[in-house]
Amino acid sequence: MADPLPKPSPISCYLHPKGGRAAEAAEFYTKAFAAEEAFRNAAEDGRLMHIHLRINGGSLLMSDEFPEFSQSRVRDMGGFTIHLQVDDADAWWERAVAAGCEVRMPLENQFWGDRYGSLRDPFGVDWSIGGPVKS
């Protein structure tokens, strides 16, 4: 009997990168955020139906766009950010920037007690990274 599909974390983000770029995004997230691929399934036409990545213990799920199955773009939402809470914000930050993320808010010690900054990846997704304050 085959292994069951990996279970997503209790709350997971599911992205649909524009233009059939889910595989490219998965490769980027492997470089930028040390993602590990748990599962991948392609449709008969070659589009990715589902890819499950693990990042820092959580799940990031993706597929190519399938507008024929009523996937819709975010319309009235102002936007979103995927947040990573990590043990070494500087190491995660440096890897993401080296991979090609654009700095939106520099990584700095913040008044609320985290070392925190925000980035945008080449697919237009905003990410924040937080971790212990650095002395």
pLDDT in tens, 84-93: 999 999 999 9
Q: Which domains does the chain have, with CATH numbers?
A: 13-65 (3.30.720.100), 81-132 (3.30.720.110)
Helix/strand/coil percentages in the chain, nearest 5: 20, 35, 45
Average pLDDT value for the chain: 91
**Could you give the CA distance from residue 84 to residue 118 in angstroms, rounded to a whole number?**
10
Question: Quick one: 63 exposed, middle or buried, by C-beta within 10 A (0-12, 13-18, 19+)?
Answer: buried
Average pLDDT over residues 62-79: 76
CA 74 from chain center: how many Å? Answer: 17
Q: What is the pLDDT of residue 6?
A: 81
**Could you give the CA distance from residue 89 to residue 98 in angstroms, rounded to a whole number?**
14
Q: What is the pLDDT of residue 71?
A: 65
Asked if residue 59 has pLDDT above 80, the reply is: yes
